[in-house]
Amino acid sequence: MRAYDVILKKRNGGKLSKDEIEFMVNGYVKGDIPDYQMAAFLMAIYFKHMDGEERAILTETMANSGDKVGLSSIPGIKIDKHSTGGVGDKTTLVVGPIVASLGVPVAKMSGRALGHTGGTIDKLESIPGFRTTLSEEEFFKNVREIGIAVVGQTANLVPADKKIYALRDATATVDEVSLIAASIMSKKLAGGADGYVLDVKVGSGAFMKTIEDATELADAMVGIARAHGKRAVAVLTNMDVPLGKMVGNSLEVLEALETLKGNGPEDFTELCLNLSAWMCHLAGKGTFEECLKLAKESLDNGAALNKFRQFVEYQGGNPDVVERPYDVLPMTSNVTEFKTEMEGYITSIDTEKIGIASNHLGAGRKTKEDTIDYSVGIEIVSKVGDYVRPGDTIAKMYVSQKSEIEEAKELLKESYVISQEKPLERPIILKVVK
């Protein structure tokens, strides 16, 4: 087989066989196929796309390129959750403990901050002592004993994705549905769960800006899961506004704790309950409605909060974070208020810009080697639909000495649109794809 012929076939809109897809992916990972041929192959897929069968094969081939986690030694149906990435997205910190408290094992690998979006692993590491690298033995022991463990991705998880993603990033071939779906689902398949709840973000802070694009991606990911005999549901959720009010690592842990105590923002609480209910439903705990009720009870009776405490303790973190978060978490008392000069309704917030502004304050990394300042971030005081007047504080910046405050301020200014028209309310859950 020659790479040239496979590229030509896809360039002309042909359907690729299993052998051809494996030849390209495995050859590229081994170094037999050079970057220029893989780049041409990716561009051919970008323009001619792949059908469901080709996507499923591409995903499986990528998943098989490195280590795979076997979860079969853990009893019960293991359901993983995946978010396509957003701003202020701290759902795993709440959903994990809810679901684990209901007897559904959570054995999860999570990611770090990427671009303007935050990462669960960085958020957890803002809790002093919390270890996101566990030995395999510890990982399984924690899941067996308390029903939950969350770790960072192992170095050799889907090396094909690491190599192909870097090439996509450099060749303008990131935003193609088959390539995104295979990239995400290969990591999910390698993670070993029996099913997936996929939180597909839609809006200004997300990868997918429209419901149509997000539906296409959701269909592709659910299709890949099914083709591999896995259970799956995709929930399309609103990322036209930051999720909850807090953006930044310690601040998001704080908000997750408030939510576990029953005092969280409405949108964020609703999303966490919904995702938890879908996970429990896929795990066979009852109908979606029954599971929603169970999830609410777990929040109301403190079971989820207790589970969070146990989870932190088992991974080496200071469990007092639950009772005394302000003492335990790295926090800054240096707060700069951002006031509006306008009067009217907040009609939209450019969420991507909020994520970038938070990074300017130090909440993200500029380079892979950069360290994160856990204490900094942004509090969204006024959200879409609020009526504001000149002088009102609409956001707060939690800053440190290294924060680029002027850059962040400029982005905040650009991100808020204020007008005389009251905007339509957009629900947090936009659509469910089953």
Candidates 55, 78, 168, 230; catalytic one: 168
d(CA 143, CA 166): 33
| Beta-sheet pairing, 195-202 with 148-152 | unpaired
Q: What minimum distance in Å lies between the beta carbon of 207 and ligand URA? A: 6
Task: Answer whether 244's CB lies under 8 Å from 267's CB.
Answer: yes
Q: Does 375 bind ligand URA (CB under 6 A)?
A: no
Query: Under a CB-based contact definition with an 8 Å cutoff, are residues 253 and 172 in contact?
Result: no
The sign of the CA dihedral 312, 291, 241, 169 is positive
Selected catalytic residue, list 126, 178, 183, 204: 183
189-248: which residues touch ligand URA (CB under 6 A)? 207
Q: 125, 152 in Cβ contact below 8 A?
A: no
Measured from the CB atom, is 184 or 322 closer to ligand URA?
Answer: 184
The answer to whether the beta carbons of residues 224 and 332 sit under 8 Å apart is no
Size of the site for ligand URA (CB under 6 A): 4
Q: Which of 134, 149, 184, 291 binds ligand URA (CB under 6 A)?
A: 184
59 is a site residue for ligand URA (CB under 6 A): no
220: helix, strand or coil? helix
Pick between residue 108 and residue 309 the one whose CB is nearest to ligand URA: 108
62 binds ligand URA (CB under 6 A): no
When the beta carbons of 104 and 113 are compared against ligand URA, the nearer one is 113
Per CB under 6 A, 276 contacts ligand URA: no
Q: Can you tell me whether residue 392 is helix, strand or coil? A: coil
- Could you tell me the strand order of the sheet in which 429-433 lies? 79-83, 195-202, 231-238, 429-433
Shortest reach from residue 119's CB to ligand URA, in Å: 11
Closest approach, Cβ 39 to ligand URA, in A, equals: 16
Distances (CA, A) of 29 to 26, 184, 307, 390, 420: 5, 17, 41, 57, 55
Q: Is 82 a catalytic residue?
A: yes
Expressed in angstroms, the distance from the first to the final Cα of the chain is: 38
In the list 92, 183, 276, 359, the residue contacting ligand URA (rule: CB under 6 A) is 183
- Under the binding rule (CB under 6 A), the answer on residue 251 touching ligand URA is no
Question: What secondary structure letter does DSSP report for 268?
Answer: H
Q: Would you call 168 a catalytic residue per the annotation?
A: yes
Distance (Å, whole) CA 316 – CA 131: 6
Task: Please tell me whether residue 50 binds ligand URA under the rule CB under 6 A.
Answer: no
Q: Which of 38, 157, 180, 254 binds ligand URA (CB under 6 A)?
A: 180
| Nearer to ligand URA (CB atom), residue 180 or residue 271 | 180
Query: Whose Cβ is closer to ligand URA: residue 183's or residue 340's?
Result: 183
**Residues 124 to 163: which contact ligand URA by CB under 6 A?**
none
Name the site residues for ligand URA (rule: CB under 6 A): 180, 183-184, 207
Q: Which residues are catalytically annotated?
A: 82, 161, 168, 183, 187
